[in-house]
């Protein structure tokens, strides 16, 4: 299976704290993407990091990529209650025309 894994499965933190989610994958990738999903809704693209990049920032988001370990992490700094959602990593495969999604991390930010 090409499917990657995310860790932790669930994370509960206080508002203002940082949240870190990890993603491991198995295939050769063109890029690694992170998406967010509010309960029962569609996914929203957050950030894309290419295979030749090691770190990328977007607002309160920081993504790292280690292709030697086939892993990525998403850091949300100064979390807010509105960050409560599920977060998914998705492998943009080097070959083929699809994304392979992980199982996701459920983040709960308590106010």
Partner 1 sequence: ETGVTQTPRHLVMGMTNKKSLKCEQHLGHNAMYWYKQSAKKPLELMFVYNFKEQTENNSVPSRFSPECPNSSHLFLHLHTLQPEDSALYLCASSQGASGGNEQFFGPGTRLTVL
CB of 111 to partner 1, least distance (A): 25
Among 52, 59, 69, 97, binds partner 1 (CB under 8 A): 97
Question: How far is residue 18's CA from residue 101's CA, in Å, rounded to a whole number?
Answer: 23
Taking CB under 8 A as the rule, which mask of x and - marks residues 50-89 in contact with partner 1? --------------------------------------x-
To partner 1, the closest distance from the beta carbon of 101 in angstroms equals 4
Length of the chain: 111
- For partner 1, the binding residue among 20, 22, 24, 30 (CB under 8 A) is 30
From the CB of 29, what's the least distance to partner 1, in Å? 7
- Which region among 17-25, 36-44, 65-73, 77-85 touches partner 1 (by CB under 8 A)? 36-44
Are the beta carbons of 21 and 63 closer than 8 angstroms? no
Please enumerate, as own/partner, the contacts of 35-42 that have beta carbons within 8 Å and a separation of 24 or more. 35/87, 35/88, 35/89, 35/90, 35/101, 36/85, 36/86, 36/87, 36/88, 37/85, 37/86, 37/87, 37/88, 37/104, 38/85, 38/86, 39/85, 39/86
Task: Point out which residues bind partner 1 (CB under 8 A).
Answer: 3, 29-31, 33, 35, 40-45, 48, 88, 90-94, 96-104
């Amino acid at each position: 299976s090409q499917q990657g894994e995310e860790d932790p499965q669930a994370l509960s933190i206080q508002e203002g704290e940082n949240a870190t989610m990890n993603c491991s994958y198995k295939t050769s990738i063109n890029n690694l993407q992170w998406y967010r999903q509010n309960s029962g809704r569609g996914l929203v693209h957050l950030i894309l990091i290419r295979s030749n990049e090691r770190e990328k920032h977007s607002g309160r988001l920081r993504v790292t990529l280690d292709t030697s370990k086939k892993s990525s992490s998403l850091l949300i700094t100064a979390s807010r209650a509105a960050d409560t959602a599920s977060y998914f990593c998705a492998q943009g495969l080097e070959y083929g025309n699809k994304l392979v999604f992980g199982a996701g991390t459920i983040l709960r930010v308590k106010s």
